[in-house]
Chain A
Amino acid sequence: MKKIMIVIFSMLLVFSSVFAQGANEGDANELVAYSSVDEENAAKLFSAFTADTGIEVSFVHLSTGPALARIQAEKGRPQADIWFGAPSENHVSAKNEGLTVAYKSPALDALGKDFKDPEGFWRCIYMNPLAFGINTKALAKAGASMPTSWQDLLKPEYENLIQVPTPQASGTAKAQVYGLIEIMGEDAAMAYMAALNTNIQTYTTSGTGPSKGVNVGDAAIGVQFTPAFFNSISQGLPVEVVFPSEGVPAEAPAVSILKGVKNEQAAKTFIDWMTGPKGQNALSQQNTFFYPVLATAELAQGMPSFESLKIIPYDTQYYSDNNERIVTRWVNEVLTAK
């Protein structure tokens, strides 16, 4: 009897806690974020913001896919104020689905036109080029030479040495596939990736999967965005970053204010701070290894200037419309080649 009463009691407790969740009204000194920027870097940037403005930020890290899935599911009643990070094309989707609101300010005007939505729904906060991360020790152990181009990766000496993410999942691999299509044309890019299949050890389900393989020497070569590689180098790991000669695509993560939020003013303050000189300088001061989007901002040590890189631009709208067709083609033509 007692036990059963305990169960009933605790269930009532749960139910009452459910209904006791009163409306949590907004507060000018509080900001809640879904951060697709990784945990550590987001924490660094948010605490720099809090130190500057006194606005407390609580955030949860969700990578791009889960974050967008959640924002979609929570439409009309978002549990966060801003979506911080995730490549800008995802913010384009969010805008098109009516999940975000526009905000215009002088800080938006100061950004280059490639880094913002003309209507002010989203703006970029930093950018990252794609590159090869090479574990020099693992490469030497396999007796292979340093690759310098996408074409080099096809050499038989790299058999089973390369990790790339699968375009089914990650923004990184999608960007890689789009970039290759821009460089070679779609058919040739598919043929290239099919030929590369023999050299691929595994297609990781996470965009940052390859850097893990490279860090521990499981893979000699990983293809992904650069911050994790620069971070490995700063930790003293035997890693080198190679920008292939044909050029690389870059990602430019953005930030948007979600529709129907509680702390809109704090969100606006944050956005102006992040895209202004203070936030942009914080990128290097906090060792995020991200490239700033504001030309006047500082660059962290050891990173080549963004202007020196050969960046392949691609039309995010076109690829967002053709994504499913391209990924299906990738599965059919690349995965079956071996």
Chain B
Amino acid sequence: MKQSLKAQLRDTKMLTKDPLLFSMVLLIFVSLILFILYPLIKVALVAFSDENGFTFKNFREAFGFWYYRKALFNSLVMASLTAIIGSIVGFIFAYALTRAKIPGKKFFNLIATIPIISPPFIGALAIIMLFGRNGFVSSTILRLPDANIYGFKGLLLAQVITFFPVAYITMRGVLESISPTLEDAAMDLGGNRFKIFYKVTLPLAIPGLASSMLVLFVESLADFGNPMILAGSEYPILSVQAFLEITGMYNLGKGAALAFILLIPSLSAYVIQKYYVSKKQYITVTGKPTDSSNSVVSPAARNILFVVAIFFSIIIILIYASILYGAVATSWGNNSTPTLDHFRYVFRVGFESVKDTIIIAGVSTPISGILGMIIAFLVVRKRFIGKRFIEVTSMLSFAVPGTVVGIGYILAFNSAPLYLTGTLAILLLNFIFRYIPVGIQGGIAVLQQIDPSIEEAAIDLGADSNTTFRKITLPLMVPAFFSGLIFAFVRGMTAISAAIFLVSAKWNFMTVQIMSQVESGRIGAAAAFSVILVAIILVAMIIIKTILRLKYQTTTSLLSN
């Protein structure tokens, strides 16, 4: 990775000889600076200033208060546990589904993918309905007299369920791209199954595992939907405290300072992952055919995998069944008489927001996904000055809590020359750049598995760089691309923390509607909104899957086997 400035300059010069590539890089530079860095700088200016100019006062006050130090500590513990447990659960599902002969793979795949579609707040409410004091599981089945779901336990459960699908999808992509022939070879050479897992499969899966842990850590750190409902004041979480500082105490400076503190662990996680993964690169897609005898998992191990998968599947089914129940029951928890009133209400009061949401997510997702793939390709395969800058900047918007991004967007784009507040554009830009890292991380993970010699061969045969990208690299990236695309779409559809600052009377968002309904206590309507949201996303996934099948004769790791 180390190269002299001179060599870098030479590489950059090479790039200028490829005008399309060069203009692409330039466009990406400008966009990232304008739509990621600039809003953050605006917020930083607020965090580092008071009426007298530059100051560390906000940070001193934030760190000086034990409650915020505790919030930081809690956030770190919660994010680490979510990353570890979530990645393990995700890995178990992915390993079981790609390597073991277990029944109902299609079913498990669906179940493990569903929680990626988690409309804000409603999942947390479902957990209260299931495991709270009057909960279906805690009270009706287990007959616990005094279950308290608020605080650490409830939040951890919610976070793991919400975020493990990300790990599952990443791990599944990685395990699928690791040729089973390697495991078969090890087996033929007399290795026992346990040893093969530790010596062959796991090391190959480490980059994916590390990157999924990174994503989970960062996402959990920035998430505020679940902790808003489940954490409560006794178990402060920094992202929520930052939000409250801005919206409850009207102290934008201190809120921004708290959110900036969150950036430190987020970026550290990123650097550690980068350092670790870059040291352990493995190339397994070499262009040679692969086929598996599929017998690396022993029956005993298979049974354990099966039981774990069943356990988590039951929890997930319960949560989603509760939401569905909430949407059709007259009154959640009180009166189960089925009714369509809540759906009628949604179509009467909130139909515009349903339409707006589809437009916003539908437009921003493909742009975000393609841009993400291109950036991944440039970062892994091309050399030019500012490559690291592109990578780190694009990661930033993901690591920064949505509240800060949202505030930053208003501060940045409500003054000349860019008047964007209240427009569709501000929502689109926010979603495009906020979810770009998903595509980038997925693309990088796949590209690191693809031997560059395949591309080099194409270039030797006379193809230019664009043809090579289009004909060779892109098809190999397609599964990761579509996983990234779906993920970005889903996250875009279910995002709340930034959206709440960007919606306008003309362009509203379903998740903001859900929050409104939850806040005004119409849980039935919130559940109905959530059911519609989940349905839209599922339809979109099926459409993407169909396109993929028809055009590329390949399948994504989502919703397919």
Asked whether A203 is an interface residue with its Cβ less than 8 Å from the other chain, the reply is yes
Tell me, in angstroms, the Cα distance from A335 to B261 when the chains sit together: 23
Contact status A74-B146, CB under 8 Å = no
Contact status A63-B20, CB under 8 Å = no
Known: A77-B419, A168-B233, A219-B133. A235 touches B425 (CB 8 A): no
Q: For residues 412 through 436 of chain B, which have their beta carbon under 8 Å from a beta carbon of chain A?
A: 414-415, 418-425, 428-429, 432
Closest to B245 in A: A168
- Chain B residues with Cβ below 8 Å from A169 are 244, 247-248
Asked whether A21 is an interface residue with its Cβ less than 8 Å from the other chain, the reply is yes
User: Using an 8 Å CB-CB cutoff, how does the interface string of A18-52 with B read, 1 for contact, 0 for none?
Assistant: 10010000000000110000111101000000000
Asked whether B252 is an interface residue with its Cβ less than 8 Å from the other chain, the reply is yes
Q: Closest CB of chain B to A88's CB: distance in Å? A: 15
Asked whether B398 is an interface residue with its Cβ less than 8 Å from the other chain, the reply is no
Tell me, in angstroms, the Cα distance from A219 to B470 when the chains sit together: 58
Interface-located stretch among B76-84, B160-168, B332-340, B536-544:
B332-340
Tell me, in angstroms, the Cα distance from A325 to B373 when the chains sit together: 50
Contact status B27-A11, CB under 8 Å = yes
Interface-located stretch among A64-72, A145-153, A178-186:
A64-72
- Chain B residues with Cβ below 8 Å from A268 are none
Closest to B247 in A: A65
Q: Closest CB of chain A to B63's CB: distance in Å? A: 14
Known: A40-B520, A168-B249, A208-B520. A216 touches B333 (CB 8 A): yes
- Chain B residues with Cβ below 8 Å from A18 are 418, 420, 423, 425, 429
Contact status B501-A17, CB under 8 Å = no
Tell me, in angstroms, the Cα distance from A1 to B474 when the chains sit together: 11
Tell me, in angstroms, the Cα distance from A206 to B523 when the chains sit together: 14
Q: Closest CB of chain A to B224's CB: distance in Å? A: 9
Report which of A58, A65, A206, A213 forms a contact with B246, defined as CB distance below 8 A. Answer: A65
- Chain A residues with Cβ below 8 Å from B335 are 236-237
Contact status A62-B371, CB under 8 Å = no
Contact status A69-B250, CB under 8 Å = yes
Q: Closest CB of chain B to A64's CB: distance in Å? A: 8
Asked whether A265 is an interface residue with its Cβ less than 8 Å from the other chain, the reply is no
Contact status A33-B333, CB under 8 Å = no
Tell me, in angstroms, the Cα distance from A204 to B519 when the chains sit together: 11
Asked whether A324 is an interface residue with its Cβ less than 8 Å from the other chain, the reply is yes
Asked whether B72 is an interface residue with its Cβ less than 8 Å from the other chain, the reply is no
Contact status A138-B246, CB under 8 Å = no
Contact status B349-A40, CB under 8 Å = yes
Contact status B20-A4, CB under 8 Å = yes
Asked whether B513 is an interface residue with its Cβ less than 8 Å from the other chain, the reply is yes
Asked whether A93 is an interface residue with its Cβ less than 8 Å from the other chain, the reply is yes
- Chain B residues with Cβ below 8 Å from A335 are 67, 233-234
- Chain B residues with Cβ below 8 Å from A168 are 233, 241, 244-245, 248-249
Report which of A4, A6, A207, A228 forms a contact with B24, defined as CB distance below 8 A. Answer: A4
Contact status A160-B414, CB under 8 Å = no
Asked whether B370 is an interface residue with its Cβ less than 8 Å from the other chain, the reply is yes
Tell me, in angstroms, the Cα distance from A216 to B2 when the chains sit together: 60
Report which of B248, B371, B508 forms a contact with A65, defined as CB distance below 8 A. Answer: B248
Q: Closest CB of chain B to A292's CB: distance in Å? A: 20
- Chain A residues with Cβ below 8 Å from B522 are 40
Contact status A38-B247, CB under 8 Å = no
Asked whether A166 is an interface residue with its Cβ less than 8 Å from the other chain, the reply is yes
Contact status A215-B20, CB under 8 Å = no
Report which of B20, B241, B516 forms a contact with A61, defined as CB distance below 8 A. Answer: B516
Tell me, in angstroms, the Cα distance from A145 to B484 when the chains sit together: 55
Known: A6-B370, A237-B334. A217 touches B519 (CB 8 A): no
Known: A202-B232, A212-B523, A231-B521. A323 touches B332 (CB 8 A): no
Report which of B333, B349, B519 forms a contact with A206, defined as CB distance below 8 A. Answer: B519
Known: A212-B523, A218-B133. A77 touches B249 (CB 8 A): no
Report which of B31, B516, B523 forms a contact with A11, defined as CB distance below 8 A. Answer: B31
Contact status A212-B370, CB under 8 Å = no
Q: How large is the interface on B (under 10, 10 to 19, 20 to 34, 35 or more residues)?
A: 35 or more
Asked whether A238 is an interface residue with its Cβ less than 8 Å from the other chain, the reply is yes
- Chain B residues with Cβ below 8 Å from A60 are 503-505, 508, 512
Q: Closest CB of chain A to B290's CB: distance in Å? A: 27
Contact status B250-A68, CB under 8 Å = yes
Q: Closest CB of chain B to A294's CB: distance in Å? A: 24
Q: Closest CB of chain B to A74's CB: distance in Å? A: 5
Closest to B133 in A: A218
Asked whether B506 is an interface residue with its Cβ less than 8 Å from the other chain, the reply is yes
- Chain A residues with Cβ below 8 Å from B508 are 60
Q: For residues 190 through 206 of chain A, which have their beta carbon under 8 Å from a beta carbon of chain B?
A: 201-206
- Chain A residues with Cβ below 8 Å from B458 are none
Tell me, in angstroms, the Cα distance from A58 to B356 when the chains sit together: 14
Q: Closest CB of chain A to B343's CB: distance in Å? A: 15
Contact status B244-A203, CB under 8 Å = no
Tell me, in angstroms, the Cα distance from A231 to B522 when the chains sit together: 10
Q: Closest CB of chain B to A286's CB: distance in Å? A: 13
Asked whether B257 is an interface residue with its Cβ less than 8 Å from the other chain, the reply is no
Contact status B504-A38, CB under 8 Å = no
Report which of A10, A68, A204 forms a contact with B367, defined as CB distance below 8 A. Answer: A10
- Chain B residues with Cβ below 8 Å from A8 are 23-24, 27
Q: Which of B250, B410, B474, B513 has the most CB of A within 10 A?
A: B250
Tell me, in angstroms, the Cα distance from A2 to B332 when the chains sit together: 51
A residues near B, CB below 8 A? 1-4, 6-8, 10-11, 14, 17-18, 21, 32-33, 38-41, 43, 58-66, 68-70, 72-74, 77, 79-80, 93, 138, 160, 166, 168-170, 201-209, 211-213, 215-219, 228, 231-232, 235-238, 323-324, 327-328, 331-332, 335, 338
Given A69-B247, A201-B150: 15 more A-B contacts, CB < 8 Å: A43-B349, A69-B252, A73-B407, A74-B414, A160-B133, A207-B519, A215-B331, A216-B134, A216-B332, A232-B521, A236-B331, A236-B335, A323-B249, A331-B65, A338-B234
13 A–B contacts, CB within 8 A, in A order: A3-B474, A4-B374, A18-B418, A40-B520, A72-B252, A73-B414, A79-B421, A160-B133, A201-B133, A203-B233, A212-B125, A216-B134, A338-B234
| CB-based closest 4 A-B pairs | A65-B247, A38-B520, A216-B333, A79-B422
B residues near A, CB below 8 A? 20, 23-24, 27, 31, 65, 67, 125, 128-129, 132-135, 146, 148, 150-151, 228-229, 231-234, 240-241, 244-252, 331-335, 345, 349-350, 366-367, 370-371, 374, 407, 410-411, 414-415, 418-425, 428-429, 432, 466-467, 470, 474, 500-501, 503-506, 508, 512-513, 516-523
